[in-house]
């Protein structure tokens, strides 16, 4: 064979590449996330370039402006019809811009803005060496109790890195419920988890407990991420694609052009069932559902309280958004397989959270178990598999997040010599010592209990109604029973505050700056408005309740 013939064998097999297509990114539709990422990167530059004295104010300004601008961008997209008629898949199939995504992004941004105010609070701790300090360690890298830590405290250092960390966490949370392929979902999961692991370890008081909480969260979170990734790999092996829509078509059996390599794996239901189970397991871990909840009480108790409040609110919103999208967009064809499992998870989560909370003696652990029970109530709406189910979950998440941040903001105010007084016995008689703070906390507890005229009642009613109409009436009965159990320990705290004698050596209530007052005020306002006149917001959630595919 001649040399030219051999040469032609080598060269004609492949088409010549004339040009590589540039990715097409719709920057306007991704604006909310891009603004927050930009602010996070700017925050890192501030840490490097701005003198230490001014950093706190610059970081605060950058973060508040970015969160407000990102929220304005979400509102603009919704007003432009991207939540309803113009819903689409952006960024080359990676991100969905639709009603649920925009509603959840708006909720996360508002929750982050309110949470940011509690991060920035600097009047609660006594002045140290002439400097005002916040809830975070003076120098995170120094060993607790070491000389370098004492020197950092004496110099009046504060950890202003918490602001860019918060912004990175928010950026990941914005992408998580809007992700439209499995790889984007996983990247978003890591982007918001890693900053939270760090933030949990940064408490100024009780540093060892805080670091222990962070290590527990990191180890269990790494396991959950590994399960998620393994589930993603199996689903990719099953459907030959990372895209939600393609996987859904393969599950339904409506996929058009099947290549021979795929035909073998598509008949293999084991890949699909195990992959879906592992993926959903990773999401249930983030939600804090039983039996994947064991990290919740320890982390909520050990983390700095502002971080606990932000994490309890925003992580739940992001994780439930992602769970809804996976179940409703990727796996509707598997509904008969995942609904019974979700029934079981919802029942044990509602009852487990409510029953174990009764035994708690620490206010932060009590709120942690309460948040687990609320996860169960929200799952009842997820199980409904109707448009009402989606909108009721969206409404519940919006209502729950502000009550949670407000409640943890109140916890930061009750203090003794060792910092926050979180043991329940210390709260006895708080209603006589500080009637306003006790009354505000009582409002939040009543909302958690789902008492009428609070946002908690409107949210529970919407979720249970959707579940009942979706054929899950027994679940509603169990939900009502666990609500009654939960009401017991919320009312017990109210009785303790108002009908017990205050102890002479009891804690004091610190006078906060306008920042924490704003956070608590917003929480009370949202709780009462959504409780007394919820219809507008229920309608808003109803309009936003349709996923694009």
* Coil, helix or strand at residue 546: coil
Residue 420, φ and ψ in degrees, nearest 5 = -70, 135
Instruction: Look up the pTM and report it.
Output: 0.93
430, 514 in Cβ contact below 8 A?
no
Number of helices (H), then strands (E), belonging to the chain: the values are 22, 5
Using an 8 Å Cβ cutoff, are 244 and 299 in contact?
no
* pLDDT for residue 14: 54
Q: How many Å apart are CA 283 and CA 18, to the nearest integer?
A: 43
Q: How confident is the model over 100-151, as pLDDT tens digits?
A: 999 999 999 999 999 999 999 988 888 887 788 888 888 888 888 889 888 9
Note the pLDDT of residue 156: 80
* pLDDT one-digit tens code per residue, 178-204: 999 999 999 999 999 999 999 999 998
Q: Among 366, 364, 360, which residue's Cα sits nearest to residue 309? A: 364
The single residue listed with the structure tokens 């306007």 is 28
Res. 3: pLDDT tops 60: no
**In a 3-state reduction of DSSP, which class is residue 243?**
strand
Give the C-alpha separation, 231 to 237, whole Å.
10
The pair of structure tokens assigned to 402 is 């502000």
Q: Please state, in angstroms and rounded to a whole number, the distance separating the CA atoms of residues 263 and 258.
A: 6
Average pLDDT score over residue span 295-310? 95
C-alpha to C-alpha distance for 105 and 112, rounded to whole angstroms: 10
Distance CA 284, CA 168 (A): 22
Alpha carbons 470 and 231: distance in angstroms, whole number: 28
pLDDT > 70: percent of the chain: 97
Beta strand ranges found along 91-131 (DSSP E): 95-97
Handedness of CA 338, 369, 201, 316 (dihedral sign): positive
Please tell me the distance from the alpha carbon of residue 324 to that of residue 329, in angstroms, as a whole number.
8
Check pLDDT > 70 for residue 249: yes
pLDDT score for 62 = 97
Report whether pLDDT(369) > 70: yes
What is the per-residue pLDDT for 131? 82
Which residue did the predictor score with more confidence, 491 or 23? 491
Give ∠ CA 527-288-248 in degrees, rounded to 5: 100
Q: What is residue 133's predicted lDDT score, i.e. its pLDDT? A: 83
Mean pLDDT of 474-478: 94
Read off the pLDDT of residues 25-72 as tens digits, 9 standing for 90 and up. Answer: 889 999 999 999 999 999 999 999 999 889 999 999 999 999 999 999
In angstroms, the CA 113 to CA 261 distance is 49
- Residue pLDDT, tens place only, 312-352: 999 999 999 999 999 999 999 888 899 999 999 999 999 99
Note the pLDDT of residue 127. Answer: 81
Q: Indicate the average pLDDT of the chain.
A: 91
113 vs 251, residue with greater confidence: 113
Comparing C-alpha atoms, which of 330, 310, 492 is closest to residue 406?
310
- What pLDDT is recorded for position 311? 95
Cβ atoms of residues 528 and 444 within 8 Å: no
Question: In this predicted structure, what is the pLDDT of residue 13?
Answer: 53
Angle between helices 99-119 and 387-411 (to 10 degrees): 0
Query: Is the separation of the CB atoms in 191 and 164 below 8 Å?
Result: no
What pLDDT, on the 0 to 100 scale, is given for residue 254? 81
Q: Residue 15 pLDDT > 70, yes or no? A: no
pLDDT of 5 strictly over 70:
no
Q: What is the pLDDT of residue 268?
A: 79
Residue 260, pLDDT > 80, answer no
């Amino acid at each position: 064979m001649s040399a030219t013939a051999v040469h032609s064998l080598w060269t004609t097999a492949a088409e010549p590449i004339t040009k590589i297509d540039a990715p097409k990114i719709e920057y306007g539709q991704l604006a909310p996330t891009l603004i927050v990422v930009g602010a996070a990167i700017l925050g890192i530059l501030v840490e490097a370039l701005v003198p230490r004295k001014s950093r706190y104010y610059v970081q605060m300004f950058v973060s508040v402006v970015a969160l407000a601008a990102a929220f304005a961008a979400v509102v603009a997209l919704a007003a432009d019809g991207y939540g309803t008629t113009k819903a689409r898949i952006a960024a080359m199939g990676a991100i969905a811009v639709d009603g649920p995504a925009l509603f959840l992004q708006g909720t996360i941004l508002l929750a982050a803005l309110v949470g940011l105010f509690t991060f920035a609070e600097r009047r609660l701790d006594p002045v140290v060496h002439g400097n005002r300090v916040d809830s975070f360690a003076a120098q995170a890298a120094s060993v607790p109790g070491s000389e370098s830590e004492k020197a950092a405290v004496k110099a009046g250092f504060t950890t202003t890195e918490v602001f860019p960390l918060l912004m990175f966490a928010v950026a990941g949370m914005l992408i998580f419920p809007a992700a439209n392929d499995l790889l984007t979902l996983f990247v978003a999961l890591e982007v918001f988890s890693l900053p939270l692991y760090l933030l949990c370890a940064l408490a100024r008081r009780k540093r060892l407990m805080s670091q222990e909480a962070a290590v527990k969260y990191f180890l269990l979170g790494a396991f959950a991420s590994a399960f998620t990734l393994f589930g993603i790999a199996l689903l990719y092996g099953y459907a030959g694609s990372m895209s939600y829509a393609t996987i859904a078509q393969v599950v339904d059996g409506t996929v058009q052009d099947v290549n021979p390599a795929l035909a073998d794996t598509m008949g293999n239901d084991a890949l699909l069932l195990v992959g879906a189970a592992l993926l959903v397991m990773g999401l249930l871990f983030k939600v804090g559902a039983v039996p994947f909840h064991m990290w919740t009480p320890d982390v909520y108790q050990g983390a700095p309280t502002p971080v606990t409040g932000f994490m309890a609110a925003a992580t739940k919103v992001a994780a439930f958004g992602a769970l809804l999208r996976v179940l409703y967009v990727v796996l509707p064809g598997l509904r008969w397989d995942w609904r019974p499992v979700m029934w079981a998870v919802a029942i044990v989560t509602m009852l487990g959270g409510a029953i174990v909370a009764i035994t708690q003696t620490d206010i932060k652990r009590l709120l942690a178990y309460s948040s687990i029970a609320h996860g169960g109530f929200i799952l009842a709406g997820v199980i409904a598999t109707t448009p009402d189910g989606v909108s009721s979950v969206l409404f519940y998440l919006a209502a729950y997040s502000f009550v949670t941040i407000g409640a943890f903001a109140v916890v930061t105010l009750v203090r003794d010599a060792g910092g926050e007084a979180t043991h329940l016995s210390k709260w006895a008689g708080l209603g006589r010592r500080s009637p306003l703070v006790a009354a505000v906390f009582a409002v939040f507890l009543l909302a958690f209990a789902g008492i009428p005229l609070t946002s908690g009642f409107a949210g529970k009613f919407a979720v249970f109604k959707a579940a009942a109409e979706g054929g899950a009436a027994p679940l509603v009965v169990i939900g009502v029973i666990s609500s009654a159990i939960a009401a017991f320990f919320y009312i017990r705290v109210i009785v303790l505050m108002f009908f017990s004698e205050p102890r002479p050596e009891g804690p004091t209530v610190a006078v906060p700056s306008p920042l924490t007052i704003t956070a608590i005020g917003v929480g009370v306002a949202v709780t009462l408005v959504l409780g007394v006149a919820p219809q507008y917001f229920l309608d808003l959630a109803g309009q936003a309740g349709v996923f694009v595919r």
